[in-house]
Amino acid sequence: MASIGFIGLGNMGGPMASNLVSAGHALRVFDLSQEAVQRLVDAGATACAGPGEAADGVDMVITMLPAGRHVRELYLGEGGLLDKVAKGTLLIDCSTIDADTARAVAAEAENTGCPMIDAPVSGGVAGAEAGKLVFMVGGETGPVEQARPVLDVMGRAVFHAGPAGAGQVAKMCNNMLLAISMIGTSEAINLGVAEGLDPKALSDIMQQASGGNWVLNVYNPYPGVMDGTPASRGYTGGFGTALMLKDLGLAMDAALKDGKATPLGSTARNIYALHAAAGNGGKDFSSVIEFLQHGGGSSSQ
């Protein structure tokens, strides 16, 4: 069993850390939220007063933070993690951030003698709770293989995408495709309903026909069509519109830098930006179906 420092115990990090404790690993945890820390202490983890204390004497450190600036600050900021952590400690960042920041932090970690991998996840809060996340990992083979048994506790699949930053690139591409397919699927269902079809009947048909996709299989955006989806509980408890907008921003920044045409990704970003600006940033991203129903009107009412 490993000794693990875990920093960032939010919607995703909380259940991920909890699964590691349940599997018998010794966890030293830190979060800015005392409430989040307390939940893990109740589950059997040791509370720490700061990131350095969480990293003290552990085999590896896992971070699960909101965005690139938090990751950069935590690792590279004054008195940051890289100043405190012992040489040889494996560093695993599971946050979804831009690949350039992931590469820069990994290079600095390497300079201080700590192998680092980026390991963003797919599967949402439900996947984190069930230990069924998909990890997309970037880094050298040695550290990736060292991390694998621990990642396996939190996930159902671990893909080694390539060198440092490659996990973030895979995640960014996947989420751009997901955003586009959520909008496309929503448009098709809305149109069918407007033409008098039952949304469930139409979804069942498209699921088996050539329009079938992941959204239709497990994340139908129309309320009442599928049990257990955010759509069937008022678009709560899933993957927030604001987080999807962040991920589309990462994809568009990369597309601009690389000179790649991503017209559908760009349109998806506009749609999610307008949807978030109408007060829906905290709702699950499948609520974009409401934006499309109201033609961009105030769907939060």
| Run of H or E residues at 169 | helix 166-194
- Number of chain residues interacting with ligand NAD (CB under 6 A): 24
Q: Which of residues 206-225 bind ligand NAD (CB under 6 A)?
A: none
Residue number, nearest CB to ligand NAD: 10
Contacts 24+ apart (CB under 8 A), 189-195: 189/220, 189/221, 189/222, 189/289, 190/289, 190/292, 190/293, 193/222
User: For ligand NAD, which is the closer residue by CB, 33 or 236?
Assistant: 33
Residue 65 vs 248, nearer CB to ligand NAD = 65
Write down the catalytic residue from 171, 246, 257, 283.
171
Binding of ligand NAD by 98 (CB under 6 A): no
**Span interacting with ligand NAD, options 66-74, 187-195, 211-219, 292-300, rule CB under 6 A:** 66-74
Interface with ligand NAD, residue 118, by CB under 6 A: no
Decide if residue 39 touches ligand NAD (CB under 6 A): no
Binding ligand NAD (rule: CB under 6 A), the pick from 243, 250, 271, 278 is: 243
Please tell me the total number of residues recorded for the chain in this structure. 301
For residues 297 and 206, what is the distance between their CA atoms, to the nearest angstrom? 27
Q: Does 29 bind ligand NAD (CB under 6 A)?
A: no
The H or E element that residue 156 is part of is strand 155-162
Q: Does 245 bind ligand NAD (CB under 6 A)?
A: no
Binders of ligand NAD in range 271-300 (CB under 6 A): none
Query: Has 171 been annotated as catalytic?
Result: yes
Tokens 């293989």, located at residue? 145
- Cα(54)–Cα(27) distance, rounded to whole angstroms? 8
User: In the set 125, 134, 153, 273, which binds ligand NAD (CB under 6 A)?
Assistant: 125
234: left (phi over 0), alpha (psi -120 to 50) or beta: left
Q: How far is CA 285 from the centre of its chain?
A: 13
Sign of the Cα torsion 50, 52, 57, 61 reads positive
Choose which of 2, 4, 12, 248 interacts with ligand NAD (CB under 6 A).
12
Positions marked active-site: 171
Binding site for ligand NAD (CB under 6 A): 7-13, 30-33, 36, 64-66, 70, 74, 95-96, 121, 124-125, 239, 243
